[in-house]
Structure 1
Amino acid sequence: MDALNYLRSLGGVARTATLLRAGATKREVAALAGLGTRPARGIVALPGCNPDYLFALVHNGVLTCGSAATSHGLWIREAPPRRHLAVAHSRVTAFTAHRILRFPTHDVLPIASIEDTVLHALNCLPLSEAVSMAESAIRAGKVHRALLEDMVHAPRSARARHALSLVTAAAESQPEVEARLLFVARGWRVEAQARIPGVGRVDLLIEGLVIVEIDGHAFHADRAAFVEDRRRQNEALRQGYPTLRYPPEVVWRDPDRLLRDVEELLRSWGRLPFRP
């Protein structure tokens, strides 16, 4: 094996035991250490190595929760500023600790399983981030909803059960998830990925009236898409469904505007629900 390329494939940092198990010799491991540093006993790190992997190995843990979301391809707006590690020890000062691992970790990388990553997020992260991570995992078929439900039945998991109850597995983006949660928090009836005859599927349908579309970066990528979008929007209005469109930035930076616009439409069309 090429020990240097193998170490690079691990993000440029690994335990010497991992390298030896993969077939590297002690002499090769020593040579690799000479190219970089030994940040802690039994760890070899090349210059420019993955800082999250290095942090996890030095602290004898594995990345999980929001800190492992990107590694598993899950939706998260940005990683938590304070790293989240699953650890068995009590020496916790520089990170957020998760104590329970129910599933095997990655074979060679310091990353918790996707199941544990999502479970930790459901119990830990702000609601929008927790729901988004679970939504993307279930929608992509990476985790079964039934498994998560079975794991959050304990009384102390009420927070996780609530977050999981808000997962539809129908959203096509994280901003769509966050917009839906804003509307649900207002007590409005929300249908995700609703299908309207002649119009097709829409991101969100509020109170059976207002269509809300969250446009991604690829929106109107070509003329044909632009023309089809205008047709759908006109047909929706002809059938009595006013449409509001927003870029993700409005969901993230000006949610009050989003809620205000929808509320004004519901009121003007006589569909604003009364919630005692």
Structure 2
Amino acid sequence: MLPTDWSAVAARARAVLAANDGVAHLSTFVAVGLSPHQVAALFRCGVLIRPRIGWYADPALPFDAVRAIRKGGVLGGTSAAKSYALPIPEGAEIELQVSVLDNASRLRDSRNRTRHVAAGEEEGVRLHWQPRLEAVLGYRVAVVDALIQLALCVPFDWLVAAMDRALHVPRDGVALISGESWALLRPALPERLRHAWDLADGRSESPIETIVRLGLIRLGIAFDIQVWLLPYHRVDFLIGGWLIIEVDGKRYHVEDEQFEADRDRDALFAAWGFRVLRFSYRQVVEELDWVLDVISTVVSRGR
């Protein structure tokens, strides 16, 4: 434990970490008046951890973030997207993706900071060497750079889903990406993927809503999204003023109470003269062609 008179030193170090998203270089601590000796003492006492020589972090920092710093970079690609709660396909989180500077050297094993490895040598780790549009604060690239790197490693529909989430404004907050950063994104994308930027819509609230929306666009079926029917009921999609499409997210609509509430809503919509089609996360992700075929068939038959 630290002596009592070190409590102010520890508090100052924690303030540095809080201002830098949980990780900072030794020079940042020195700039606020801490000596290298004091920082080293905080490390020995467990107030700080040292993923890499010269870099110190909060012990509560996510393990993947510690690995990325130890490697010689910060979280990038799918790993950065996950840290921002941007949607990624199942299984994508298994690979650690690290953003490094184009002149990065002295790369280390992400699980052993004393072991040097060549680029691409460590299994289960992917490096992103692209220049960054915005400065890194802490342990991950900015949202705009996460999206650029994500474009190189996920299917098109999932890229749009991540953009949708970045643009989405929750009821009690602000969007993950600013207007200025959003404007930088399109020209930085590979030309073949810039259409994803054009299709992004922050009103979508889950990746499967995005996937269904893009499928309907490809089919040429006109629709409205997030439509309020009377003051209290909002539906995911409304087609032709009569066909409601609802998609149930992976983590939602599974509790007994919510399951019953969804069925009550569907019955109410039917009483009002609407037709309701409801699809699960698994159906959209694994059987999208079937889902779209069902919707197309119902639409073609008319009200």
- TM-score class normalised by the smaller sequence: 0.7 to 0.9
1:83 matched residue in structure 2: 97
Match of 1:117 in 2: 146
CA separation of 1:99 and 1:223: change in aligned 2, threshold 3 A: closer
Conserved 8 A contact 2:128-2:149? no
**Partners of 1:19 and 1:231 in 2: CA distance:** 58
For the pair 1:148 / 2:156, whether they are aligned, the reply is no
Deviates more, 1:168-177 or 1:140-149: 140-149
Deviation at 1:243, TM superposition (A): 0.8
Question: 1:198 and 1:85 mapped to 2: Cα distance?
Answer: 46
Which residue matches 1:100? Answer: 131
Q: Distance in 2 between matches of 1:35 and 1:132?
A: 43
Instruction: Give the conservation status (yes or no) of the 8 Å contact 2:72–2:104.
Output: no
Q: Displacement, 1:239?
A: 5.5
Moved more, 135-144 or 180-189: 180-189
- 1:99 Cα deviation from its structure 2 partner: 1.6
Q: State whether structure 2 residue 37 is matched by structure 1 residue 27.
A: yes
Shift of 1:90: 5.8
Alignment CA distance shift 1:23-1:128 (3 Å): farther
Question: Whole-Å Cα distance in 2 between the matches of residues 123 and 100 of structure 1?
Answer: 14
Deviations, residues 5-34 of structure 1 (Å, cap 9, x unaligned): 739868886543344445543223323444
Any conservation in 2 of the 1:88–1:99 contact (CA below 8 Å)? yes
Q: Secondary structure at the residue paired with 2:224? A: strand
**1:110 maps to amino acid:** Y
Question: Could you tell me how far 1:169 is from its partner in structure 2?
Answer: 1.2
Q: Is the 8 A contact 1:98 1:120 kept in 2?
A: no
Relative to the length of structure 2, the TM-score reads 0.68
The AA in structure 2 aligned to 1:241 is F
Aligned positions, number: 266
User: Secondary structure at 1:202's aligned position in 2?
Assistant: strand
Counterpart in 2 of 1:274? none
Moved over 6 A (4+): 7-13, 45-48, 220-225
3-state secondary structure, aligned to 1:95: strand
Aligned pair in 2 of structure 1 residues 116, 142: CA closer, same or farther (>3 Å)? same
TM-score (ref. length: structure 1)? 0.74
Aligned to 1:248: 281
1:14-63 superposed Cα distances (whole Å, 9 cap, x missing partner): 54334444554322332344467865432457888633222332333232
Partner Cα distance (1:134, 1:27) in 2: 44
The 10-residue stretch of structure 1 (168-177 or 23-32) with the greater mean CA deviation from structure 2: 23-32
Provide the identity percentage.
26
SS at match of 2:238: strand
| 8 Å contact from structure 2 (residues 102, 130) kept in 1 | yes
Unmatched 5+ residue regions in structure 1?
Answer: 272-276
Could you tell me whether the CA contact under 8 Å between 2:73 and 2:98 is conserved in 1? Answer: no
CA distance in 2, matches of 1:39, 1:113: 21
